[in-house]
Amino acid sequence: MPFRAKRRHEIWTADVRYVPRSIPGVGNAYVIADLENYSRCVLSSSVSLTQDTTAFLRVLYSAVERYGPPERLVTDGGGIFKARQSKAVYRALDIEKEQIERRKPYQSYIETTFRDHLRLSEEDGRLALH
């Protein structure tokens, strides 16, 4: 794996995931989360009705407030991760921003975590949102 961490809080991965079968009467929902690559612990997450920069930065702030900033942050090519405000936060916190290769979601530790959780919930018949 290209973003394998050698120690805790060296590398985090952030992602926004569309929630299948979103909330009836409300519309789409998204899970925004930050994962610590070494332990694969979800550091902070939120369900949001938007997938915008502000929602992402709230989740990142929550993780940084509790654990301090990572050395590196890995994301896909989503616009919220490349937004001017996001880049300013990375600079202020001295976070090196990296990106997985296009069409290679397996490079993202959080992508595989989300996929495993969804698969387990479907196998168990307990998908949380119907």
- Mean pLDDT confidence for 65-91: 97
Tell me what the pLDDT averaged over the chain comes to: 84
CA dist 127 and 6 (Å) reads 34
State the pLDDT at residue 68: 98
pTM: 0.80
For the record, the structure tokens of 29 come out as 């929902």
Cα–Cα–Cα angle for 91, 94, 100, nearest 5°? 80
Residue 100 DSSP label? P
More confident residue, 127 or 32: 32
- Please check the confidence at residue 130 and state whether its pLDDT lies above 60: no
More confident residue, 109 or 122: 109
Specify the pairing of strand 11-18 against strand 30-36: antiparallel
User: What's the CATH code, domain 11-124?
Assistant: 3.30.420.10
CA dist 101 and 98 (Å) reads 10
Helical segments of 12-126, H only:
53-67, 79-82, 84-92, 109-124
> 95-120: per-residue pLDDT in tens?
999 998 787 767 676 666 666 555 55
Q: Say what percent of the chain tops pLDDT 90.
A: 56
Is-contact 38 48, C-beta < 8 A? no
Domain boundaries, the chain: 11-124
- Mean pLDDT confidence for 61-88: 97
